[in-house]
Structure 1
């Protein structure tokens, strides 16, 4: 089957993130091979694939943790060579497969720590009591509190992560990623460890992300939960052995026999 042309949206007509011919090799192992895809502005784009397909490697390339040996990236139409410590300043935020919360900080402080991004003084400066950071830190605390209330977990604001129910901790991690006002947010297996009721709640949160702020927000989602990714994504790219084997709308992905063979499995045979 011929791979479809990388997708675009008529509404936005622009790509927030564009990857062209990305290749990554670890010695003799090919992790990514000629990966090209686009994340249109204001869209939710899913990345699917079996274990070892290259999904996490792709996220690490976008975040600057891995330098590709081949290919190029652009962000809002400009060349993009990400530096992990400056991702937030470029408008990129990411959640992790694990929670990644600071165990010694309350839920509120964990979210506030994410505000060391583009338009605020660093959280560390506030902790040190530097005068220029005081007003900015107060603003960040207010915004963090509002996010926790928006997610329905304001009552946990002063709890430490070890005391948080797992679904609540997941929302804290998402709130921390959102407080820096990203224009691109990368969600790495956000449904992991959640029951169906929490996944339904997560589905609503993800679909609402592109409309959160004045700026147009794009979402890139790596997820093993097929029902979730099919229900929230505008477009999906499927990886297998580091290559894009299919991409298109959820309906197109469902109907693609190549995807059924590589990822969904042959239900008839099973």
Structure 2
């Protein structure tokens, strides 16, 4: 008798249930729920003012919700920016956030220090284990820069970089800590169409790195990018989830079309 093999569903990396945020009398988010499975790319899109940035700030701990729960890998948490790495979370910023006085290599290596457990004093005093940690971080940073095709910029300073290169540096710095959940905040902002296409290729490859279980959540204005890279998309409008599904399902949803064509700017 032939056995039947069933494919198990991937575990849920990030779960939000019933999130509500109010600013005075303004409801920024109302009963927002979503899931980010392990090994997937999940996007959040919506017209300007839909609540995307507020939702991202809830996940990162910059905004405390009035109601609702949030969990990482099945464990309820109250996220805070300084505790994200503890949960295996890294993020990029809308602004690049690079250190202007450090080289590209040093900027990326600085992100690796978040994932190492060597005591700070050991590294500060230049003791052997600290030196080994620094060498490992620089080697890992150099490997990432080569993988992203920007190894030639390793010794450049951020103010001298083309903007598209600086974007890749910021992404490499977030990725070098080997997060299980990578949060991308409007990664296409300021890029032209060719650079956005290249960025999309990079994002699609991110879950496959390592053991293939890394998850990516991105908040993005660029509809073409989010449609091309995401496995699942959640659409917000006026702080509420109006649609959720695959890119094909979202394209065909009349509520999404109404939200973007009803006098709002989709860019």
Report the TM-score, using the length of structure 1 for normalisation. Answer: 0.90
Deviations 1:133-155 (CA, angstroms, capped at 9, x unpaired): 22111101100011001101011
Q: Which residue of 1 aligns with 2:72?
A: 75
**C-alpha distance in structure 2 between counterparts of 1:167 and 1:124, whole Å:** 36
**C-alpha distance in structure 2 between counterparts of 1:21 and 1:246, whole Å:** 15
Aligned length: 258
Alignment of 1:112-123 (within 5 A): 112-121=109-118
**Is 1:235 aligned with 2:232?**
yes
Aligned partner of 1:213 among 210, 216, 219: 210
Q: Which residue of 2 aligns with 1:164?
A: 161
SS of 1:33 mapped into structure 2: strand
Q: Unaligned stretches of 5+ in structure 1?
A: 1-9
Deviation for aligned residue 1:118: 3.1
Mapped contact 1:12–1:41 kept (Cα < 8 A): no
Deviation for aligned residue 1:121: 3.4
Aligned partner of 1:177 among 164, 171, 174: 174
**C-alpha distance in structure 2 between counterparts of 1:120 and 1:198, whole Å:** 36
SS of 2:105 mapped into structure 1: helix
Q: Which residue of 2 aligns with 1:19?
A: 16
**C-alpha distance in structure 1 between counterparts of 2:73 and 2:66, whole Å:** 22
Deviation for aligned residue 1:130: 4.8
What is the Cα-based RMSD across aligned positions, in Å? 1.9
Aligned partner of 1:145 among 142, 145, 148: 142
Deviation for aligned residue 1:125: 6.1
SS of 1:104 mapped into structure 2: coil
Alignment of 1:79-90 (within 5 A): 79-90=76-87
Q: Which residue of 2 aligns with 1:195?
A: 192
Deviation for aligned residue 1:123: 7.4
**Is 1:37 aligned with 2:34?**
yes
Aligned partner of 1:247 among 229, 244, 248: 244
**C-alpha distance in structure 2 between counterparts of 1:178 and 1:251, whole Å:** 29
Mapped contact 1:31–1:241 kept (Cα < 8 A): yes
**C-alpha distance in structure 2 between counterparts of 1:22 and 1:106, whole Å:** 40
Report the TM-score, using the length of structure 2 for normalisation. Answer: 0.91
Deviation for aligned residue 1:89: 2.0
Deviations 1:222-269 (CA, angstroms, capped at 9, x unpaired): 111111111110000001111111100101100111000112558xxx
Deviations 1:94-149 (CA, angstroms, capped at 9, x unpaired): 11111111111111111011112233437786355355422111101100011001
Q: Which residue of 1 aligns with 2:107?
A: 110
Q: 1:220 to 1:68 in 2, by over 3 A?
A: same
SS of 1:73 mapped into structure 2: strand
**C-alpha distance in structure 1 between counterparts of 2:164 and 2:16, whole Å:** 32
Deviation for aligned residue 1:74: 1.0
